[in-house]
Amino acid sequence: MKNHVYRPLLVVIAVVVLILAVRAIYVPDDFAIGDRGYMYGWHRQGNEVDWKNVKVKYLGREYCQDCHTDRYTSIMASAHQDIECENCHGPAVDHPDVRPALAIDKSRAHCLRCHFPLPYASSGRSKIPGIDPDEHNPDIACAECHNPHDPMEGLK
């Protein structure tokens, strides 16, 4: 073979060897290894204890139900029954044992995260009632007219 073939071939081989050497140094031995052999994903048996010690941020509506039974009952009978409490009220991980309560985002932009009209029929998003934010009370927060726990009850 000629020189013009050897040099690029040697460069490619050197790059592959370099990549394999760096991988051997930086990737832990137990990376992607499970009980059944190689596992796809970012699993490491060596850090399972670390993940068990991670503080869970979202606790679910069952956590809220214990103290807020009236709100829980009202939202379970409304159109928002599929939405977790923490979607609007924030993560319950730092919920105080006594008052003050969690900060609630009552801004118009917060409601429009779900109620902005999107014509995507395949995503199921078109089934959520949307509003035209430029025409539907543009300068008023949604919570001034709608009760977020039961949006159509008692419209002002």
Q: Where are the domains of the chain?
A: 3-52, 61-144
Report the C-alpha gap between 84 and 81 in whole angstroms.
Answer: 8
pLDDT at 152 over 60: yes
Please confirm whether the linkage preceding 100 is cis (ω < 30° from 0).
Answer: yes
pLDDT at 42 over 80: no
Query: What pLDDT is recorded for position 116?
Result: 83
This prediction has a pTM of 0.54
Cα dihedral 99, 82, 126, 90 in deg (nearest 10): 30
Q: What is the mean pLDDT of the chain?
A: 80
Average pLDDT over residues 58-87: 84
pLDDT band at 40 (very low <50, low <70, confident <90, very high): low
Report the C-alpha gap between 84 and 137 in whole angstroms.
Answer: 26
Query: What pLDDT is recorded for position 54?
Result: 83
Burial 40-63 (b: 16+ CB within 10 A, else e): eeeebeeeeeeeeeeeeeeeebeb
Nearest to 108 by CA among 83, 133, 132, 84: 133
Query: What pLDDT is recorded for position 35?
Result: 65
